[in-house]
Structure 1
Amino acid sequence: MALARLSLNHLHAFAAASRHLNFTRAADELCVTQAAVSHQIKALEAQIGQRLFLRTARGLQLSDEGARLAPLVQQAFALLDKAVQLLDERAPPERLTVAVVGTYAQGWLLERLPQFQAEHPHIELRLQTHNNKLDLATETIDAAIRFGDGAWRSTHAVPLQAAPLTPLCAPALAATLARAADLRRCTLLRSYRAEDWPAWSRAAGIEPLAARGPQFDSSVLMVQAALLGSGVALAPAAMFRRELAEGRLVQPFGVAVDVGRYWLTRPLGREPSSALRAFEGWLQASLAPADAQPPALS
Structure 2
Amino acid sequence: MVRPYLPLNAFRAFEASARHLSFTRAAIELNVTQAAVSHQVKSLEEQLNVVLFKRLPRGLMITAEGESLLPVLRDSFDRMADAVERFRGGHVREILAVGAVGTFAVGWLLPRLAAFRERHPFVEVRLSTNNNRVDLAAEGLDFAIRFGAGAWHGTDAVRLFDAPLSVLAIPAVAHDLREPADLLGLTLLRSYRRDEWTRWFEAAGLPRTQPPQNAIVFDTSLAMMEAVLQGAGVGLAPPLMFSRLLAAGAVVQPFETSLALGSYWLTRLQSRSLTPAMAAFSAWLAEAVAQEGLG
Q: How does 1:150-189 map to 2 (within 5 A)?
A: 150-189=150-189
Once residues 268 and 115 of structure 2 are traced to their aligned partners in structure 1, the CA distance between those partners, rounded to angstroms, is: 23
Identity level (%)? 45
Question: Quick one: distance in 1 between partners of 2:213 and 2:256?
Answer: 20
Residue matched to 2:190: 190
Which of the numbers 240, 243, 246 marks the counterpart of 2:242? Answer: 240
Aligned to 1:229: 231
1: distance between equivalents of 2:144 and 2:108? 15
Please state how far the C-alpha of 1:292 moved relative to its aligned partner.
3.1
**Residue in 2 aligned with 1:119?**
119
In structure 2, the partner of 1:264 is 266
1:52 counterpart residue number: none
- The reply on whether 1:138 has 2:127 as its aligned counterpart is no
- 1:217 counterpart residue number: 219
The yes-or-no answer on 1:254 pairing with 2:249 is: no
TM-aligned CA deviation for residue 200 of structure 1:
1.1
Q: Report the residue type matching 2:124 in the other structure.
A: E
CA distance in structure 2 between the partners assigned to 1:211 and 1:230 by the alignment: 15
Question: Quick one: distance in 2 between partners of 1:269 and 1:195?
Answer: 35
Compare 119-128 and 264-273 and name the one that shifted more: 264-273
Residues 107-127 of structure 1: CA deviation (Å, up to 9, x unaligned): 111111111111001101110
Q: Distance in 1 between matches of 2:148 and 2:104?
A: 12
Q: Is the 1:98–1:126 contact (alpha carbons within 8 Å) kept by the matching residues of 2?
A: yes
What are structure 2's unaligned runs of at least 5 residues? 4-71, 78-82
Residue pairs, 1:1-298, within 5 angstroms: 90-206=90-206, 207-210=209-212, 212-288=214-290, 291-293=293-295
Contact 2:166 2:255 in 1 (8 A): yes
CA distances 1:170-207 after superposition (whole Å, capped 9, x unpaired)? 11110111111111111001111212212212211212
Structure-2-length-normalised TM-score: 0.67
Q: Which protein has the larger Cα radius of gyration, Structure 1 or Structure 2?
A: 2
User: What amino acid does structure 2 have at the position aligned with 1:177?
Assistant: L
Aligned-partner residue type, residue 187 of structure 1: T
Provide, for residues 106-154 of structure 1, a one-character-per-residue CA deviation record: whole Å limited to 9, x for no partner.
1111111111111001101110011111122322111111111111111
> Matched residues in 2 for 1:239 and 1:209: separation?
24
- Contact in 1 for aligned 2:91/2:122 (Cα 8 Å): no
Q: Retained in 1: the 8 A contact 2:189–2:224? A: yes
**Unaligned segments of structure 1, at least 5 residues:** 1-6, 10-26, 33-80, 294-298
The structural deviation recorded for 1:279 is 0.3
2:131 corresponds to which letter in structure 1? N
Asked if structure 2 preserves the Cα contact closer than 8 Å seen for 1:142 and 1:276, the reply is yes
Partner residue, 1:45 = none
C-alpha distance in structure 2 between counterparts of 1:243 and 1:31, whole Å: 44
**d(CA) in 2 for partners of 1:211, 1:177:** 20
Aligned residue for 1:253, secondary structure, equals: coil
Q: Would the aligned equivalents of 1:95 and 1:126 in 2 still touch at CA under 8 Å?
A: yes
Q: How many residues are matched?
A: 217
